[in-house]
Amino acid sequence: MSLPDATVHAVDRTAISRQVAHSYVDHLERRDWPGLAALLTDSVVYEMPQTRERIHGVDAFLRFNIEYPGHWQLRIRRVVADGNLAALWLDVRVDVEQQDACVWLEVSEHGLINKIVDYWPASYDPPLGREHLVERW
């Protein structure tokens, strides 16, 4: 039994989104900034609803991560993908503090991330020192 073309395309998109999600965390964890940049569209949008912050563009997103304080580590607990969307459940450690995070990725038709939304357990005021990279809403 063969699948209709639309179904095959959706399966391929899902597989690509799942692979992109794994690569995203791998590059972040290894601090591989050129590799991470290669996964992003130039106009990527990064949002953190708990702090009401939004970052526009690959350069600002990379700088945000490069400048992020503390020693942080990421471990994937689960990835769920469907078409051009992927959701990650992450174990995040910053120094000695452990938190769970959920990350939603939107992947373009070219296999690049064009939107990232990070959800943290609770709302909080953003740390000082990143105002030059973010807009608040």
Query: For the residues of 96-114, what is the DSSP string, one character each?
Result: TEEEEEEEEEEE-TTS-EE
What does the pLDDT look like over 21-46, one tens digit per residue?
999 999 999 999 999 999 999 999 99
CA–CA dist 28, 113 (Å, integer): 14
Residue 73: name the closest of 59, 90, 58 by CA: 90
Q: Which two tokens stand for residue 132?
A: 């030059």
pLDDT confidence of residue 135: 83
Domain boundaries, given as residue ranges, for the chain: 5-122
State mean pLDDT over 77-95: 95
Q: What is the pLDDT of residues 111-120, one digit of tens each?
A: 999 999 999 8
pLDDT of the residue at 5: 52
CATH class of the 5-122 domain in this structure = alpha beta
